[in-house]
Amino acid sequence: MVKVRPYDAHVLLCRGGDCKKRGSKEVRKALKAGLRAAGLNRDVRVDSVDCLGFCKYGPNAVVYGPNGRSGTWYLSLDEGKVPEVVNTHLKGGNPVEHLAADYRPRRGA
């Protein structure tokens, strides 16, 4: 049986065409560097995914955790916003509300 290592948080970062054109590669580098600087590189997993949708707002990311929280979406993420996401959300456990996307109600709810 394969054993999977647990992480405190998981970040899915879009690398699809539009996000790539808008700098997702640089955002990933800034995110990884920020996690290393904060001592979180072994506690937070970062994976690039092909597309998260919302292409016209890219680069986009979804953060799951820490503290068992549901996903927080960050749209139009750039290198300058990464330190706040790392320190406030991934280290401090609180989503960055002014950077996070709002949720709309489900249809029929």
Condensed to tens digits (0 to 9), the pLDDT of residues 31-72 reads 999 999 999 999 999 999 999 999 999 999 999 987 666 799
Domains and CATH numbers, the chain: 9-91 (3.40.30.10)
For the whole prediction, is pTM greater than 0.75?
yes
Burial annotation 1-10 (CB, 10 A radius, 16+ → b, else e):
eeeeeebbbe
Q: What percent of the chain has pLDDT over 90?
A: 84
For position 69, what pLDDT does the model report? 63
Q: What's the chain's average pLDDT?
A: 93
Strand order across the 44-49 sheet: 44-49, 9-14, 61-64, 72-74
Q: Any idea what DSSP says for residue 85?
A: I
Q: Which two tokens stand for residue 6?
A: 């647990």
